[in-house]
């Protein structure tokens, strides 16, 4: 990863329109930026489109980049935004319910949760390719609006306020959605965590 001094030299080159610096920017960052888009979009063609849109935005606005944020942070926001634009264009459909995946309580207000005799670690679960595929498929089962908030917070580690801004939600609604997404993920991954799969 480049440091602030490298960033400064690179940004100066970009501002001057140097093709060498642009190529370096693209080669150094396209891989992880594409990873962000792939995670959010789960569609290779759309992710590649989003990456192209992201770099178009970078080229347009680099002259105005004031260096208040690290270059990588700035690129990160642009990549997330480009992917979210694609996601919005793709999913102008009704939000899917996830009520079936949420925790249950009895009439006394007590949680219904079968005892856990074993709680597998990620290393245990991901030992086999079939388990890995199972987990990926389960994450993909989350409706887009829940998967997105989960990815932005728990995988991409954005701040809650930033996520609320990006998704155009109130802070309270963002928290509720994140909790429901995590609860649903726990429900979906339960067979793997209990070592019941395959």
Interface residues toward another protein, by CB under 8 A: 19, 22-23, 26-27, 30-35, 38-39, 48, 51-52, 55-56, 59, 103, 105-116, 119-123, 125-126, 132, 135-136, 139, 150-151, 154-155, 160, 175-176, 178-179, 182-183, 185-186, 189-190, 192-193
- Residue 94 CB, shortest distance to another protein, in Å, is 25
Between 5 and 20, CB nearer to another protein: 20
- Residue 150 CB, shortest distance to another protein, in Å, is 7
On the CB side of 103, how many CA atoms lie within 13 Å of its CA? Answer: 14
- Residue 56 CB, shortest distance to another protein, in Å, is 6
Instruction: For 69-192, list the strands marked E by DSSP.
Output: 104-105, 111-112
| Residue from 131, 135, 110, 52 nearest 86 by CA | 52
Between 93 and 142, CB nearer to another protein: 142
The Cα–Cα gap between 67 and 7 comes to 9
Q: Measured at the alpha carbon of residue 145, what is the angle toward residues 88 and 129, in degrees to the nearest 5? A: 110
- Residue 119 CB, shortest distance to another protein, in Å, is 6
Residues in the chain: 198
């Amino acid at each position: 990863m480049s440091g602030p001094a490298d960033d400064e030299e690179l940004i100066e080159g970009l501002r001057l329109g140097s093709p060498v610096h642009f190529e370096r920017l693209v080669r150094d960052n396209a891989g992880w930026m594409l990873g962000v888009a792939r995670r959010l979009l789960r569609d290779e063609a759309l992710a590649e489109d989003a990456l192209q849109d992201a770099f178009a935005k970078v080229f347009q606005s680099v002259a105005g980049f004031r260096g208040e944020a690290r270059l990588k942070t700035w690129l990160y926001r642009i990549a997330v935004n480009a992917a979210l634009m694609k996601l919005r264009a793709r999913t102008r459909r009704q939000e899917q319910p996830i009520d079936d995946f949420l925790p249950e309580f009895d009439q006394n207000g007590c949680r219904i949760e079968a005892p856990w005799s074993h709680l597998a670690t990620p290393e245990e679960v991901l030992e086999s390719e079939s388990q890995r595929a199972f987990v990926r498929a389960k994450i993909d089962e989350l409706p887009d609006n829940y998967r997105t908030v989960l990815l932005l917070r728990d995988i991409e580690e954005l701040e809650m306020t930033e996520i609320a801004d990006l998704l155009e939600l109130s802070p309270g609604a963002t928290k509720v959605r994140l909790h429901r997404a995590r609860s649903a993920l726990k429900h979906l991954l339960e067979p793997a965590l209990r070592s019941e799969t395959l």
